Structure formats: C-alpha cells, structure tokens
Amino acid sequence: MADIDNDMLLDAEYDAQEVEFIKNYLPSEIKDKFTEEQLYYILDVICEYYVDKGVFDEDADDDEEIEIDLDDVTSYVAKKAKKEGMGDFDPEDLLFVIQGDFEFNDPEDEDDDE
C-alpha cells in the first residue's frame, strides 16, 4: 500500500510542477483567465484525450512517431469543459494551456538523434 501512496504523492507533485510551469508559460493577458482548479481539470481532460486516442498504448511501436493535433485537443477540451460546467473557454486562450502542457512534457528535449 505504501507504494501506491508514494506513487500518488509523486503524481500530485508532478501535476503541481506542471500547473506552475503552465501558469508561467501563459502570456500575461491570459494568466488571469484560468484558475488553478481549471488548469488541473484541463490537464486531466488532456490526459483523457491522449488515452482515448491511444497515445499511451503499450502496444505502440516506440519508433513510431505519434502526431498530436493541438487544435483537435483544444476542441476536445473546450467541448468537454463546457458540457461539464467547468468553463466556456476561448479556444485561442485554451490553446496556450495545451501548448504549455506539450512543452512541459515534450520528449524532444531528450537527445534522441544519436
């Protein structure tokens, strides 16, 4: 049980780091448009989108590059947030949050070109 608790704590720390990164990533005119709670919600929905699209599938070939359409992610998140009463976000503003998530998790930061 301790491993599960430790994993949950690590996940929560990672999420907090990502939310902080995104808050700093957003342009100043957009920062006040999203609460911290909304940012956590948006990250959850982004993850849900990736799961639905099979991005995290274990069967995926590691050499196979996965294309992620940020506009499609934005549309998915905007529709779900509105439907669930979490906010009626401007897609252009929401795109910055999604780009921030992508930048935070960008695997290209690693040196894969060897």
Give tens-digit pLDDT for 35-93. Answer: 999 999 999 999 999 888 877 776 655 556 677 889 999 999 999 999 999 999 999 99
Centroid of chain to Cα 91:
15
Residue 7 or residue 13, greater confidence: 13
How far, in Å, CA of 98 to CA of 81, rounded?
Answer: 14
Alpha helices in the chain (DSSP H): 2-25, 28-31, 36-52, 70-83, 91-104
How far, in Å, CA of 6 to CA of 8, rounded?
Answer: 5
Give tens-digit pLDDT for 69-85. Answer: 899 999 999 999 999 99
pTM metric for this prediction: 0.80
Residue 49 corresponds to which tokens in the numbers above? Answer: 């989108």
